Amino acid sequence: MSTTTTLTGRSDRVARRAPFLNQRIMVIELRRVLRNRRTLIFTLVFLVAMFFFISASIPSDGQSLGAGVRANVSA
């Protein structure tokens, strides 16, 4: 009687983690970003400023997408 085994002896185990996402690292990075107030404020202010700059550059008559369809891009 001969039995075959793998080198590790654990052929029935399967890795359960996602290939590109490590939850612990994501939590650490999120805490690091939220802890840095200057970066957080800059990110939020820049986001709002870009929204207003882009929405101000589109004229109100250019928001029509077709018959009766309007784009909501103005601030």
Tell which residue, 66, 43, 62, 64, has the closest CA to residue 54.
62
Residue 25 falls inside a structural domain: yes
Residue 41 falls inside a structural domain: yes
- As a whole number of Å, the CA-based R_g of the chain is 26
Which tokens in the block code for residue 56? 């101000």
Strands (E), 1-75: 64-66, 69-70
Residue 13 falls inside a structural domain: no
pLDDT of residue 14 exceeding 90: no
Helix or strand or coil: residue 8?
Answer: coil
What pLDDT, in 10s, does the model give residues 54-65?
Answer: 888 777 666 656
Q: What is the Cα–Cα distance from 26 to 17, expressed in whole angstroms?
A: 13
Identity of the amino acid at 11:
S
pLDDT for position 43:
87
Residue 32: give the domain boundaries.
18-57
Q: Which band of pLDDT confidence, cut at 50, 70 and 90, is reported for residue 72?
A: low
